[in-house]
Amino acid sequence: MAARGRPREFALDDALDRAIDVFWRQGYEGTTLDDLTRAMNISRPSLYAAFGNKESTFTRAVERYAAVDMAYVDDAIAQPTAHGVAEHYLYRNVIAITAPGKPAGCLSIQGGLTSSPEHRRVVDFLNDSRAAGEARFVERFQTALETGDLAPSERPRELAKYLSTVTAGLAVQATGGATRSELEQVAARALLAFPTR
């Protein structure tokens, strides 16, 4: 049986990439449906049909951002030592948040840093997303502890929280105009918390 309806005239990933840019620059609350449809070059009915409402568009945009712009997290987790994990993550993060042609900072930080009560679900979604990412580092550092790569006195949960706090701070600093070189110096300082054995 032939498919019904008009064929979609835009690439979903391309449209999401444009939505990412808008949400990143303006935040969730500061972005209107008109902003999205104009940037994505689609009509409101097309946006609703492809992505749902503004909130679900934002959710999809953050998920794509995590898969594409933050793909370096998987590479970091795969490093053979805890120090290597932190080093790869911190330095690749600095590169990502200072990439030419993209907004400075991080979508998941700027997207919902402040929001009114009616947008609480968006803030909760971002918090949950960051917590899930942090949990991956807890698990990785727990493995490092069990294999003797980390000293017995180390606490994987604290190390993961430290990393996520540093990278959030790096993103805020990048948004405020800090240079890649300046942020690399911060990353180097942060790495002192992960001594090599």
For 144-160, the pLDDT digits (tens) are: 999 999 999 999 999 99
Which band of pLDDT confidence, cut at 50, 70 and 90, is reported for residue 11? confident
Interatomic CA distance for residues 185 and 170, integer angstroms: 11
Structure-model confidence comparison of residues 88 and 5, the more confident one: 88
Q: What is the mean pLDDT of the chain?
A: 90
Residues of the chain with CATH 1.10.10.60: 12-65
- Which of 47, 35, 65 has its CA nearest to residue 10? 47
Instruction: Considering the domain delimited by 69-193, tell me its CATH architecture.
Output: Orthogonal Bundle (1.10)
- Which of 124, 117, 109 has its CA nearest to residue 165? 109
Which residues are CB-neighbours of 20 under 8 A, at least 6 positions away? 61, 64, 65, 69, 107
**Does 79 score more than 60 pLDDT?**
yes
Residues of the chain with CATH 1.10.357.10: 69-193
Let me know how many helices (H) and strands (E) the chain has, helices first. 10, 0
> Does 1.10.10.60 match the CATH number of domain 12-65?
yes
Q: Are 160 and 194 in contact (CB under 8 A)?
A: no
